[in-house]
Structures are given as structure tokens and as C-alpha cells.
Structure 1
Amino acid sequence: MRTAGSCANEYILTRTWTAKDICGNTVTHSQIIRVEDKTPPVFVGTLPRDIKVGCDAIPTAPVLTATDNCGAATVTYAEVRTVGACEETGFIITRTWTATDACGNTTIHKQIINVENTSPAITVEKIADVKIVRQAGDIIRYTIVVTNSGNLTLRNIKVVDPLTGLSETIAVLAPGEKKTFTTSYVVKISDFNSGKVINVVNANGTDPKGNPVTGTDTEEVVVEPLKLNIPNVITLNGDGKNYSFYIDGLEAYPENNLIIFNRWNNEVYNSNGYYKNNWTGEGLNDGTYYYLLKIKNKSGAWQALTGFITLLRKN
């Protein structure tokens, strides 16, 4: 006879043997077997171990199963986060799987995940308002955006742009926060030698543990000189026009020399180096003159340009 116990896997089994003779006399013997379920269920497979990860590498909780020696077992899952957000000090996730059989026997497995905030980052973006400049004196205006692209608050970020002289400090920059700066640069004659203006900006700060965090960006602006525009007349009549031998675009060729000859091939002017666009023909008679302009191009070769210039003092 089987009598149910306190749970599905527990019961009392009563076995009775009866001996009887031919006269009907009997004797009995009973055996009582108490079946108890005290063995907890067992998880199946490899269980997740304790780990240490960054905020962006938290693994998905696996689904665990369990077996029981007396029948089926169910598994429940719970997760506790001690802080609740990826803050500067990190946080701890405690994952608990509980396997329970029909009699309430349980087996518990816990996984501790230490989440460390290890992703500090600075992103620097530098944008010029022009892509090409053509003469000395042109102004390049830059916009610099410094962004905390990590998940740690950064401090004492020094933003330095050596070319323009910009030097700023950001005291505190929270994750996702950005700061914008503007600065400018005046194109120099020497920039035409390299053919470009290369500007590098650096941002250097520290994370909450004092570790350095850096970011940088480079912006290039092409220096493309204007074509030389050489005049063919100087009119010294007081109207303020064409009063000097002004060669437009010459600033792109800082290594140059200008020589002026009269019609008898006598030298009447020599700049003896960089010509400053200031020859007016002062002291010379009206007439036609011959010029020889030498410039050194970007490849380092000297190039000779020749032509005629007419000097007029009256309309």
C-alpha cells in the first residue's frame, strides 16, 4: 500500500506478507518503507563563472537547466545590481540561478560580475571654414569640438593648438558632453612653400583614477597660389590707379627677383631679392621698359618670366 507524503516525491510504502495454514490460522509481517527526497537537483552543463568586464562587455545571462533524481526540476533566475548604472567606480552584478525539485530541495549557483568602467575617451574634431587659400593674408577660421566619447568623467583637459596659439583648459567634462572653441590663422608667405597649412590640435586630460586620456585631430588646408597677374603699364597721373608695378599673386613665390631694363638694355632697377611690389618708375622717363622676373617654383626650380612695361605720367 502506498500512502502519499508531504510532497510529490515522498511517500510511505507498506508491504504486508500473510502466512495461512490449512486450518485458517494466519500470521502477518509488515515492512514500512518511507521514501524521502532529500537530494537537491543538479545543474546541467558548465556553469557561468565569476568575471570582471567593462561596461560595454557585460554578457547576456545564459538559461540554465537542472535534473533531479526523483523527477523534474525548475530553475529560476534573479539579478541584482548594486549601483544600477555605469558610474565612475563601476558596479557589481550578482546573478542567481535556483534549481528546485518537487519537494523543495534547492541548489543555488551565483555568478559575480565586477563591472569596471575602463573606457575613457576624448574625441577631437577640427574643421576649417575653407579648403583652399590662395594668397598670404587669407584667414583660416577653425572650429574645434572636444567631446567626452567615453563613459568616465574627465578632468583638467588641456586643449592646445600650437599653430593658432589656442590654449584652453576644460575643468570637467562629463560622458557625452562637448565643448566648442574657435580660433583662426593668417596665411603666411612661407606657407606657399609647403603647399598646405597643416594644423594639429591636441586634448589631454585625466580619468577619475588619474590616468591620462588623449585625443587629437589634424586639418589640412591647401595653399594654391593665384596665377601671377603681371601688369603692362604704370600711370603716375595721381588717380591712384596703376601707380606701381604690382604683381598680383607674387606672395606665393617668396623667393623671387625683379630686374627692369630700358630700351638700351641698361639695368634701371633691381630688387636684389624679394620684390615688394613697390617699383613706380620714379626718376625714369616715360616709355617702354623690359622686365625680367625670376621666381622659384614649388619644385625648387627657378623660372624666368619676361615682358614689357610701359611707364606713362599723363593720360
Structure 2
Amino acid sequence: ISYVFIVENTGNVTLTNIQVQDVLPGLMLTGGPIAQLLPGEIDSTTFTATYIITQEDLDTGSVTNSASVSSEAPRGDLNDPSDDIVDTSDDPNDSSNEDPNGDGDPDDPTVTLVNSIYDLEVSKEVDELEPVVGDEVTFTIEVANIGNVTATDIVISEQIPSGYVYVNHIATNGNISYSDITGEWTITQLDPDQVEILQVTVEVLGFGDYLNIAYVQSSVGGNDVNIGNDEDSAEVDPICLTIYNEFSPDGDGVNETFVIDCLERFPDNKLEVYNRWGNMVYSTRGYLNDWSGTTNGRAVVKDSDNLPAGTYYYVLDLGDGSDPRVGWLYINRKN
């Protein structure tokens, strides 16, 4: 900011040794003193000043500045400032005409608006677009201050949708907190050009909402000039209805049941299992991935006994009007 100081002798006596003072921190004042001003005379060239806008000014949105002028009174003592004539500057473009010192002259400060830009930007991505149900994926959320105004008390909404289960999270800075309960990510302060990152790891479920949205819920610092970049989203498309057609129900806790991904999406499903002779050995409605190779079908073996190791054939009707899925499965028993 460049300042010009217009000094006018509004009295009817000659003024001498005229000095301008401006105590705005960081301001560079040059020129002076003015040796003499006759009554009615104006000086607008002797004193000038420059000021470099600070981050505090950008955060405030303006720079407020007042200067003062003093001169030696007629027949005054050069070594005695108490007899000097003094006045506070007035901004001629401000019609408020404030007079805090009560001398009858307006003393409006000069207020210069600065180009303050308040703009937060949210971006989000996921590391795997087509995960298998049960896999873990990580969402990375970045919040950047792309304006020139300091932002504080930022709250980002990062609610985990119903298609995931929270596992853990990490963040880039110790002044950041995230709660998977409230879905709020809090950033204490974000300086211009600063970026903070949150990574949330979740497990993919076989059903639910997979669209994960992050957005600026609230912040302090100004009115965002571009709300269009305050929100971003990422979504996965799980690989579903994968039929794991080999399992080993031998009691070791590993691969104990016949599993079909995403079957939770089809609660009206019906599963039938047949042996190699075409006899039904197992049938159920609303299958929940819990069959461990026992029979409830025709009496090919004793009811509720374990089926022997071997190849079987399944018919899966999803109950949604689509054609049944047909295939083979293998039961492997070690004992």
C-alpha cells in the first residue's frame, strides 16, 4: 500500500518545522520535515510511505491506519514539544467524520480493503475401486487452504456409510482429531497453502451404501468464495456374488462354511445342494453363509450327519427374478 500525506495549513499563521508521524508497524515513512507552510498552503509531496500487507491484514480483510502531524507554534521553543501544534489525520473519502479528540476536526482513519480470499478445498479418493467383499480399503481425504486467509476451527464431515465398517485412521498433524462415532474431522488451523490429510481404513461389507462423501461442515475465517469445491466423494463397486466353491468343515476354524459374497443383498434367496446322483442333500431359504456340509435333505445319509468329502452341485435362486446360478462345490474333510 502506498500512502500520500496531504498537509494543509488551515490557520492564519505561518507554521514551521512540520513533521508527520505514522506508527503503523512495518510502515516505511520517508520525507520531511516541511520547513514552512503559509496560511492556506498545501503540501502533498514531501511525505510518502509504503506498507507491505501482512497475513494478519489478509485475515482481517483491511488495513486501518492513522497518522499525526506536528509543527512548531509561532515563537515556540524548538526543544519543547509541549508547545507544538498537533493534529490527527482524516481520510477525506470517509464521510463518518469521527472526532475522538474533540478538537472539532474529523479524524477518520484511512481504511484500505485488501484482496482477502477465503477458499477451502476438499478432495477424496479410495485406493481400490473394486474390492472383494470383506477386504479393507482406505479413503484419503485432503483439505487444502487455497485462499490467502487463515482458516480456523474447521470441521469436515466424514461419515462412514452403511456399506463399510470402521477399522482405523491416521492423520498428518497432531492438531487434528477424527471420530468415527460422530464422523467429524476437526482441524484447529489451516494456513494459506497448507494441506492436511486424513486416511480412514474400512472393511467392505456385502451390502449397504458405498458412496462416501466428505464436506466442509463449518469453519472460521470468512465466506468461502467457491463452495463448489467444499465437497468430494469416492465410491467402491464391490465384487459380489463370488461363490467360493471349495470349503473344509473340519473344525479348525478356517474355511468352515460355503461362502457366497454379497448374499445379504438377496434375503429371499434359496439354496439347494445335490449329490452326484441328483439327490437333494441340503436346502434352505435365506441362506446366510452358514452351511458346514451337513445334510437336511433326502435320506442319503443319516439326517443332520456330515456329508462325506466329494463333489456336489448347487442351485442358487436369488429370489429377485433372475435365472438361478448353478455350479459345483467340493467338500474337503481331513477327518
Shorter-chain TM-score bucket reads 0.5 to 0.7
The reply on whether 1:294 has 2:304 as its aligned counterpart is no
2:59 to 85, 88, 100: 88
Q: SS in structure 2 opposite 1:223? A: coil
Could you say if the C-alpha distance between residues 242 and 184 of structure 1 is closer, same or farther in structure 2, counting changes exceeding 3 Å? Answer: closer
Q: Which amino acid aligns with 1:281?
A: T
- Note if 1:145 corresponds to 2:116: no
What per-residue deviation string (whole Å, max 9, x for no partner) do you get for residues 195-235 of structure 1? xx321112220216xx578653333233241663453x777
**Which aligned pairs between 1:123-162 and structure 2 lie closer than 5 A?**
123-135=121-133, 137-162=134-159
Partner of 2:326: 306
Partner of 1:278: 291
Instruction: Indicate the SS of the match to 1:302.
Output: coil
1:169 Cα deviation from its structure 2 partner = 1.8
How far 1:259 moved relative to its partner? 1.5
- Equivalent pair of 1:88/1:117 in contact (CA under 8 Å): no
Report the residue type matching 1:176 in the other structure: D
Which has a greater percent of strand?
1
Counterparts of 2:121 and 2:324, CA distance in 1: 49
Pairing 1:1-315 to 2, within 5 Å after superposition: 80-82=49-51, 84-85=53-54, 87-89=58-60, 90-91=62-63, 114-135=112-133, 137-163=134-160, 165=180, 166-191=183-208, 197-203=210-216, 204-207=218-221, 211=223, 216-225=230-239, 228-229=242-243, 231=245, 238=250, 246-247=258-259, 250-254=260-264, 255=266, 256-261=269-274, 267-281=280-294, 283=305, 286=308, 289-295=312-318, 301-309=321-329
Q: Structure 1 length normalisation: TM-score?
A: 0.52
Cα deviation, 1:6-38, whole Å, max 9, x if unaligned, reads xxxxxxxxxxxxxxxxxxxxxxxxxxxxxxxxx
Q: Equivalents in 2 of 1:239, 1:80: separation in Å? A: 86
8 Å CA contact retained: 2:158, 2:185: no
> For the residues of structure 2 that align with 1:156 and 1:125, how far apart are their CA atoms?
19
After alignment, is 181-190 or 303-312 more displaced?
Answer: 303-312
| Unaligned ranges ≥5, structure 2 | 1-44, 66-91, 94-109, 161-165, 167-179, 296-304
- Unpaired runs of 5+ in structure 1? 1-75, 94-109
Deviates more, 1:141-150 or 1:159-168: 159-168
Q: C-alpha separation between the residues in 2 aligned to 1:172 and 1:312?
A: 59
Check conservation: 1:143, 1:180, Cα contact below 8 A.
Answer: yes
Are 2:204 and 2:238, in contact at CA under 8 Å, matched by a contact in 1?
A: no
**SS state at 1:88 partner:** helix
Displacement, 1:116? Answer: 3.2
For the residue of structure 1 that corresponds to 2:202, the secondary structure is: strand
SS of equivalent residue, structure 1 residue 293: strand
Q: Using the alignment, how far apart are the partners of 1:271 and 1:313 within structure 2? A: 22
- Computing the radius of gyration over CA atoms, which structure comes out larger, 1 or 2? 1
Tell me if the contact between 2:159 and 2:214 (Cα under 8 Å) persists in the aligned partners: yes
CA RMSD of superposed structures (Å) = 4.1
CA distance in 1, matches of 2:244, 2:186: 48
Contact kept in structure 1, 2:157 and 2:215, CA below 8 Å? yes
% identical equivalent positions:
22
Q: Is the 8 A contact 2:122 2:232 kept in 1?
A: no
Cα deviation, 1:256-291, whole Å, max 9, x if unaligned, reads 331224577664422320331423135156476542
Q: Is the 8 A contact 2:120 2:224 kept in 1?
A: no
- What letter corresponds to residue 178 of structure 1 in structure 2? V
